Amino acid sequence: MTTKTETNMFCYQCSQASRGTGCTTKGVCGKDETLSRLQDNLMIIVQGMSAYLYHARELGYTDTEIDAFMEKAFYATFTNVNFDPQNFVEMALEGGETVIKTMRLLKRALLETYGEPQPTEVQTGTVKGRGIVVTGHGLKVLEELLKQTEGKGINIYTHSEMLPAHGYPGLKKYKHLVGNLGSSWIDQRELFAKTPVAIVARSNCVVPPTAAYADRIFTAGPTRLADVTHIDDYDFSQVIERVETLPELEDAPSETILTTGFSASTVASLKGKIKELVQAGRIKHFFVVGGCDSPTDKLRYYRDFVERLPKDTVVLTVGCGKFRFNDIELGDIDGIPRLIDLGQCNDAIEAIDIAAALAEAFDVEINDLPLTLVLSWMEQKAISIFWSLLALGIKGIYLGPTVPAWVNDDILKVLVDNYDIRMIGDPDSDIDTILRRNTGDEEMMAG
């Protein structure tokens, strides 16, 4: 396990801040570095949770229990309120449980609004005509844009975390939702500069634009960019006016076809067949490889990892990290796809439900399944989901590309000792270690 170089705290939230600038070794109030970092961790969890709660509220769904936890979490980090590190670990786990509630709330909102996702092949590349691309997470903005552009001869494309929209019946019914452009959020500047489309950026992750497209990108909702037109109340008339001034895209479809739209219900309906394939030794191991993408060469690990997996393994994925490898043709095992895209990062709840269904089918605990989570993190939502997995007692998670910056050696030791957290290393070595460690589980499933 990678160790961290100790760094000091920085806190400037009260008038006691050292020299009027900030406490950097130990707070005047008595707060130490580990306590400060645990407070930061709790706020990171709440921040990640708030994104999913916001999207649920957009669709008319709320939960007072979730709201109450967020109030308690914020209050706990006030100056001179809580000096108990152990309690902050407990609150982080409670936060993880609340993240699960939040993801379930958002999933219910999406299902009841747009229907159960269906496995769907999505064309990449461009279609003849003018185009608008939507990047971000919130599906309501896409729905409203589709309504307002219907019949106007404008094609709508998804980008990054909007890809799973193609699986929802309530969205795929719009014939001018024609495909997906680009990959994850990290390609925005290059993709948008060279592609003459209007862009609607909705929720993170959005990147400050270059001059090449700054006059044709629009923000909506909480997302804002300096000197960029912001859309209020889902009125996309300015976007439509702008795209009508742009040249038409060429009919240039890509050979890459992406498949998305697998729900927990779809996969769970196959659990009988999956059980047979496991018992017959046709499927040896399941991997959840997902999370965030980020602009670092270390993310190459995840493509290498998936490419090198044995052909008797199945990969489930969520989040924009999948764009590191979702163009790879992995084939299937007797009709069961070897790459199953469950959707956005918040659809981690689908992976949790699938794991629970498999555990029930084999009458074992989730930690006894031949299942390993190999995750990447970039920002707050990923950390909130990470704590939801810890709240469920899931152990042996591989995490990358780096140790989270708020983690010091004390916190890392707790994560390793209690949850067997492991940092990613070399793909071949990690695969070998995982499969050797889980040989007993695989034999138990087969038996």
Instruction: Look at residue 376 in the predicted model and tell me its pLDDT.
Output: 97
pLDDT band at 31 (very low <50, low <70, confident <90, very high): very high
Average pLDDT in the 328-356 region?
Answer: 96
**pLDDT band at residue 444 using 50, 70 and 90 as cut-offs:** low
- Six token digits for residue 193: 């500069």
Task: Judge whether 170 lies within some domain.
Answer: yes
What is the distance between the alpha carbons of residues 229 and 52, in angstroms, rounded to a whole number? Answer: 24
Whether residues 303 and 365 fall in one domain: yes
Mean pLDDT along residues 222-248: 96
**Residues 380-385, mean pLDDT to the nearest whole number:** 96
> How many whole angstroms separate alpha carbon 375 and alpha carbon 318?
10
Helix H or strand E segment including 226: none
268-312 tens-digit pLDDT: 899 999 999 999 999 999 999 999 999 999 999 999 999 999 999
Query: Is 439 found in the same domain as 324?
Result: yes
Query: What is the per-residue pLDDT for 265?
Result: 92
Residues 339 and 295 in one domain: yes
User: Of the candidates 186, 221, 255, which is a domain's last residue?
Assistant: 255
Residues 85, 179 within the same domain: no
The pLDDT assigned to 405 comes to: 86
- Within-domain flag for 354: yes
Structure confidence at residue 345 (pLDDT): 95
Could you give the CA distance from residue 372 to residue 232 in angstroms, rounded to a whole number? 43
Position 218 scores a pLDDT of 98
Q: How far apart are CA 101 and CA 62, in angstroms?
A: 11
* pLDDT value for 279: 95
Domain end residue (candidates: 114, 146, 174):
114
Instruction: Tell me what pLDDT residue 406 has.
Output: 86
Same domain, yes or no: 98 and 128: no
- What is the extent of the structural domain holding 352? 263-446
Greatest mean pLDDT among 151-155, 262-266, 434-438:
151-155
Same domain, 339 and 429: yes
Query: Does residue 229 lie within any of the structural domains?
Result: yes
Phi (first) and psi of residue 315, to 5 degrees: -115, 125
- A 10 A CB-CB count for 233 gives 7
Specify the number of domains making up the chain. Answer: 3
Tokens describing residue 53: 């709660």
| Mean pLDDT (the chain, rounded) | 94
Judge whether residue 212 has pLDDT over 80.
Answer: yes
Q: Are residues 126 and 217 in the same domain?
A: yes
Q: Quick check: 282 and 333 in contact, CB under 8 A?
A: yes
> Residue 204: pLDDT band by 50, 70, 90 thresholds?
confident
Interior angle at CA 161, CA 293 and CA 112, nearest 5: 140
Domain check: are 50 and 100 in the same one? yes
Identify the band that residue 8 occupies on the pLDDT scale cut at 50, 70 and 90: confident
Positive or negative, the CA dihedral 161, 136, 107, 39 is: positive
**Range ranked top by mean pLDDT from 88-92, 269-273, 441-445:** 88-92
Q: What is the pLDDT of residues 165-195, one digit of tens each?
A: 999 999 999 999 999 999 999 999 999 999 9
Confirm whether 4 is domain-assigned.
Answer: no
Q: What is the pLDDT of residues 78-89, one digit of tens each?
A: 999 999 999 999
Q: Are residues 226 and 303 in the same domain?
A: no
* Residue closest to 163 by CA, chosen among 41, 305, 293, 311: 293
Range 426-433 average pLDDT: 98
Check: CB of residue 231 under 8 Å from CB of residue 213. no
Q: Among residues of the chain, what percentage have pLDDT more than 90?
A: 91
Please check whether residues 76 and 191 belong to one and the same domain. Answer: no
